[in-house]
Amino acid sequence: MSDTLEVIKTRYACRDFDGSPIPDETLREICYAGLCAPSAMNRQPWRIILVKDKAKVDALDAQGMAKLAATNPTAHKRMMDRGGTLFYNASALVVVAKELDAPIAAELDCGIVTANLVLAAKALAVDSVVHGFAAVVLEGEESAELKQQLGFPEGFDFAIAVLLGYASGEAKAPHTPDLEKFIEVG
């Protein structure tokens, strides 16, 4: 089996990071893999924003938990039941921002970037989780100043995020593929 297929089969969504730092070169390699993603008509309607300062990740986490408590008690309780953090003690956060005026397929293209990010992370022995909940702090009018601080270019908005770090304890098993969801046509 190729190394690539092994990476795909063994990657899992880590929701319990130990908080230890990831080498800058490793983070850059992961982000570079995202930049290598194909896109419709090669428009590349994304920007990849790396937040590698753990204190900034933790501050975003605290903002998100406070916002959840105020706006979505059910989601807040779920996160509290999972350890009380929005970002699971991740060491780094990668935000994939999408171009708002992209004519076609920007969301799909950002999804492809995200797949590259998490597979590259696994290949480099870094755990990850695709994290839509980052939208709690990065979407909406009230997040404009924060997006500016994070370097969002004009005309771009949050698409998806990836949390990166090393698992706290043993790595979990990946989900078991449901073969009922595979349709083969002769």
How far apart are alpha carbons 30 and 93 in whole angstroms?
A: 11
The pLDDT tens digits along the chain (186 residues) read 569 999 999 999 999 999 999 999 999 999 999 999 999 999 999 999 999 999 999 999 999 999 999 999 999 999 999 889 999 999 999 999 999 998 788 999 999 999 999 999 999 999 999 999 999 999 877 889 999 999 999 999 999 999 999 999 887 888 889 999 999 999
In a domain, 179, yes or no: no
Give the model's pLDDT for residue 174: 86
Distances from the Cα of 115 to the Cα of 34, 73, 148, 184, angstroms: 8, 30, 26, 23
Q: What is the pLDDT of residues 83-132, one digit of tens each?
A: 899 999 999 999 999 999 987 889 999 999 999 999 999 999 999 999 99
In a domain, 87, yes or no: yes
In a domain, 14, yes or no: yes
In a domain, 182, yes or no: no
In a domain, 185, yes or no: no
In a domain, 141, yes or no: yes
Angle at 87 between CA 130 and CA 71, to 5 degrees: 100
How far apart are alpha carbons 89 and 85 in whole angstroms?
A: 7
In a domain, 180, yes or no: no
Residue type, 174: P
Tokens for 107, please give them: 């969301």
Give the model's pLDDT for residue 46: 96
Give the model's pLDDT for residue 171: 78
In a domain, 148, yes or no: yes
Q: Which of these, 53, 58, 46, lies nearest to 95 by C-alpha position?
A: 46
10 lies in which domain range?
Answer: 3-166
- Provide the domain count of the chain: 1
Q: Supply the pTM of this predicted model.
A: 0.93
SS (H, E, C) 54-84: HHHHHHHHHHHHHHHHHHCHHHHHHHHHCCC
The Cβ of residue 77 has, within 10 Å, a number of other Cβ atoms equal to: 12
Angle at 139 between CA 64 and CA 44, to 5 degrees: 125
Burial of 162 (0-12, 13-18, 19+ CB in 10 A): buried
- Whichever domain contains 99, its CATH number is 3.40.109.10
- Distance spanning both ends of the chain, measured CA to CA: 25
Give the model's pLDDT for residue 30: 98
How far apart are alpha carbons 105 and 155 in whole angstroms?
A: 16
Report yes or no: 86 and 133 within 8 Å, Cβ to Cβ. yes
Report yes or no: 164 and 96 within 8 Å, Cβ to Cβ. no
